[in-house]
Amino acid sequence: MTPLRLISFGYLHLPTDSEGRPIPPAADRVEDVRDRLRDPAAARDILDLDGLHPRVQEIVLNTAGARELIDNLVDYALLPAGPKAIAIGCAGGKHRAASLVEITARQVRARGREVEVKHLHAHLPRVIRIPER
């Protein structure tokens, strides 16, 4: 079986189509967690960290709905026909998406499937969205 590609990204960093909609990375499944999981940036001690840091992963993992989502992603990754790529996006790609990719990758590897991880935007500064006027 080919390695699973797990991709984290931030919707606010993506190019847009002609109608202004973000164009997510190509994947068999794209998971948008912006409205699904609370933004962990409320925890001020993690603002300068990214989802590769254990503290951020702990906060994301303990967010309501995160464990169920990870379990579902792992089950999906291990289907007999197996997806080639799963992309997970949040607003900036720094905390939720990167953490979910890292945690999911560990669990999929522990079950015997090879995983390649790519973080498109985790290294970028935290996005602070300015309200429209």
Domain ranges of the chain: 4-119
At residue 87, the pLDDT reads 98
Q: How confident is the model at residue 40 (pLDDT cuts 50, 70, 90)?
A: confident
At residue 48, the pLDDT reads 83
Residues 6+ apart with CB under 8 A from 14: 22, 23, 24, 89
With beta carbons less than 8 A apart as the criterion, state whether 8 and 119 touch: yes
Q: State the average pLDDT for the chain.
A: 92
Q: Residue 63: is its pLDDT beyond 70?
A: yes
For the whole model, what pTM was predicted?
A: 0.92
26-36 pLDDT per residue, tens: 999 999 999 99
Tokens of 88: 């997970």
